[in-house]
């Protein structure tokens, strides 16, 4: 038949895969982890491998940009931009469309340089598949390209102008069984404790031993939580990155890839004022109103580099990252690393309420006596919610943990 159609038969795809030394990588990632190394590589598995790369590439972009699934799914091959800033160096940006809360067909997301590898790979696959499409297209292709290989039933009727639905993250483990280590995805006791502290109404499907159900929005939400917990990213920057506000937002988020888009004079004034403010906040930590639940020695360790009489030294300390001061409900957090527990919407960990020992607050917390009225109000709210919540409800355990933290605060800050 091939001879009558004027086509050339090159033999089984296994021979082509071996010739170009791609049989091993296809066999490694497509199929079950225990697939024999001698199993044949089919042309269908080659298409599956291309689709796997497309899915993983989109996951890279979503992880490092906090885009919505639909936003990443509509990106074109020319979406990556690199700007050279005289102060911050290369800044990697992704440009695309967003419509859910902000209508902007040229929206910008700050991203990491490693995303360029994903964009390059997806661009190659998009160009390759465009050659097989029945309908030609002149212009940047979709990174999330449709399958157009002639050996895939019905695929040739698809045009490169059509963008397929982004594959659900939840089926990656079954669609690509060699991609993840399932054992690493199983929920353990600590995972469940952290999840319930952050989300007391967690569904019963999250239980010890079960595989964590993956979802694209988790990447976005986790990124937002980490930014807030770090104390390094302003609310305005986070809103811009998540596209919860207008394009006029001037703060760009990104570790070592950020830029403040203000006039030059305003930019340096902003940075100077920011460090001066942080320097003043650091000086305040030496005052008697701030105490460590672990005693005077621990507080002395925390503030040892801060000079209450030398404002310039404190500003310099803030610039160098030698000390941290992030406001929380019970006082301030002095942890210089990103904290997974937050301290904004829950005080369970800060005050030691979630610990096995009832009085074991975080070593980096400094209680603020000046927040007594705020803590009193929190205590009232916790009492009200505890009285209206059933003990078997996961929310009850979270409220109790916060209640214990408040009691620890009262014990540490009581007048002697």
Tens-level pLDDT at each residue, the chain (416 residues)? 445 566 788 889 999 999 999 999 999 999 777 777 778 899 999 999 999 999 999 999 999 988 889 899 999 999 999 988 887 788 899 999 887 656 677 888 889 899 999 999 999 999 998 888 777 777 889 999 888 888 876 545 455 556 668 889 999 999 999 999 999 999 998 888 777 665 666 777 888 999 998 999 888 877 776 666 566 666 667 766 777 543 223 233 333 223 333 334 444 555 666 667 777 778 888 889 999 999 999 999 888 888 777 667 777 776 676 777 888 889 988 887 767 675 566 788 888 888 665 568 899 999 999 999 989 999 998 999 899 888 888 788 888 989 999 999 999 998 54
- DSSP symbol at 169: G
Residue position matching structure tokens 């500003």: 315
The predicted pLDDT at position 244 comes to 53
Helical axes 43-63 vs 115-130, angle rounded to 10°? 140
* pLDDT, tens digit (0-9, with 9 covering 90-100), for 81-125: 998 888 778 889 999 988 765 667 788 888 989 999 999 999 999
CA distance 292 to 408: 11
Query: Is residue 19 within 8 Å of 169, Cβ to Cβ?
Result: no
pLDDT value, residue 222? 74
CB 98 within 8 A of CB 243: yes
Would you give the distance in Å from CA 204 to the centre of its chain? 24
- 3-class state of residue 5 by DSSP: coil
- 8 A C-beta contact, residue 198 and residue 204: no
- E runs forming strands in 256-370: 290-291, 326-328, 331-333, 365-368
Q: Which pLDDT does position 328 carry in this prediction?
A: 85
- Strand-pairing partners, residue 333, are 326, 365
pLDDT at 151: 84
CA atoms of 340 and 343, how far apart (whole Å)? 9
Q: Rounded to an integer, what distance in angstroms lies between the CA atom of residue 209 and that of residue 185?
A: 9
Helix, coil or strand: residue 405: helix
Q: Mention every residue, 6+ apart, whose C-beta is less than 8 A from residue 183.
A: none
Q: Which residues contact 179 (CB under 8 A, 6 or more apart)?
A: 29, 52, 56, 172, 173
At 76 the three-state DSSP class reads strand
- CA 152 vs CA 11, 84, 325: distances in Å: 18, 43, 58
The whole model's pTM is what?
Answer: 0.57
Q: How far apart are the first and last CA of the chain?
A: 97
pLDDT number for residue 103: 66
């Amino acid at each position: 038949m091939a001879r009558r159609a004027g086509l050339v038969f090159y033999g089984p795809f296994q021979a082509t895969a071996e010739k170009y030394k791609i049989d091993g990588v296809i066999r490694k990632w497509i199929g079950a982890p225990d697939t024999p190394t001698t199993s044949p590589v089919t042309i269908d598995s080659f298409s599956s491998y291309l689709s796997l790369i497309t899915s993983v590439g989109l996951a890279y972009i979503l992880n490092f940009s906090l885009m919505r699934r639909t936003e990443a799914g509509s990106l074109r091959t020319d979406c990556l931009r690199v700007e050279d800033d005289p102060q911050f160096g290369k800044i990697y940006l992704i440009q695309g469309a967003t419509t859910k809360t902000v209508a902007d067909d040229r929206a910008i997301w700050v991203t990491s340089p490693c995303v360029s590898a994903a964009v390059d790979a997806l661009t190659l696959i998009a160009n390759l598949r465009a050659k097989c499409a029945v309908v030609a297209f002149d212009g940047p292709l979709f990174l999330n390209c449709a399958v157009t290989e002639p050996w895939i039933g019905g695929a040739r009727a698809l045009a490169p102008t059509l963008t397929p639905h982004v594959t659900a993250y939840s089926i990656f483990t079954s669609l690509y069984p060699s991609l993840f280590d399932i054992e690493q995805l199983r929920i353990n006791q600590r995972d469940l404790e952290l999840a319930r502290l952050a989300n007391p109404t967690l569904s019963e499907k999250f239980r010890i031993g079960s595989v964590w159900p993956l979802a694209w929005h988790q990447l976005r939400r986790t990124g937002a939580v980490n930014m807030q917990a770090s104390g390094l990213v302003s609310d305005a920057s986070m809103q811009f990155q998540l596209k919860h506000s207008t394009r006029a937002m001037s703060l760009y988020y990104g570790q070592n890839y950020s830029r403040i888009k203000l006039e030059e004079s305003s930019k340096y004034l902003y940075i100077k004022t920011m460090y001066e403010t942080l320097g003043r906040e650091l000086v305040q930590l030496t005052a008697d109103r701030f105490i460590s639940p672990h005693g005077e020695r621990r507080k002395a360790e925390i503030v040892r580099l801060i000079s209450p009489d030398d404002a310039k030294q404190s500003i310099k300390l803030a610039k160098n990252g030698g000390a941290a001061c992030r406001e929380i409900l019970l006082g301030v957090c002095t942890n210089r690393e990103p904290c997974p527990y937050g301290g904004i919407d829950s005080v369970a960990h800060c005050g030691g309420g979630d610990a096995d020992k009832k009085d074991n607050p975080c070593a980096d917390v400094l209680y603020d006596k000046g927040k007594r009225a705020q803590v009193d109000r929190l205590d009232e709210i916790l009492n009200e919610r505890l009285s209206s919540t059933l003990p078997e409800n996961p929310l009850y355990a979270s409220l109790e943990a916060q209640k214990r933290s408040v009691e620890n605060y009262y014990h540490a800050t009581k007048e002697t």
